[in-house]
Amino acid sequence: MDQYIRHNRHKYDLEVHLIFATKYRKQILKGALADDIKQKIYDICNRDGYSIVAMETDKDHIHILLRYGVTDRVCDIVKVLKQETTYYIWQRYSKFLRQCYWKKKIFWSDGYFACSVGKVSRATIKHYIDTQG
């Protein structure tokens, strides 16, 4: 069984582990707010053609294991996810969020963590390349 995605002349399996932290590491990702954030991320991914392999929140951050296409850039994926979830969550929880963030409508910290996820080890790939020709 082939685990790779085939599209046009491409064959790939691209996955990234993303972590977003709340601004000031506020521990507010709980209950309904966390569930709504996760649902919104699922909705965005379904709309844009990404696949969520795994996702879970902790009190002040979220982990996402996401599968994406060859024409997508991780920075663009992050931008869309963070912008749209911030807008969405402020629409639903503005009264609560005003107590946490007093200046402007922010939710996530500026940075993020991203790490590619491989299916084979670096040593296996190096050995494969070294034995070519």
Residue 119: give the domain boundaries.
5-130
Total structural domains in the chain?
A: 1
Residue 37, SS3 per DSSP: helix
State the CATH number of the domain containing residue 9.
Answer: 3.30.70.1290
Nearest-angstrom CA–CA distance, 133 and 125:
15
pTM above 0.85, yes or no: yes
Q: What is the pLDDT along the chain (133 residues), one digit of tens a residue?
A: 467 777 777 777 888 999 999 999 999 999 999 999 999 999 999 999 999 999 999 999 999 999 999 999 999 999 999 999 999 999 999 999 999 998 789 999 999 999 988 777 778 878 876 887 5
Nearest-angstrom CA–CA distance, 50 and 53:
10
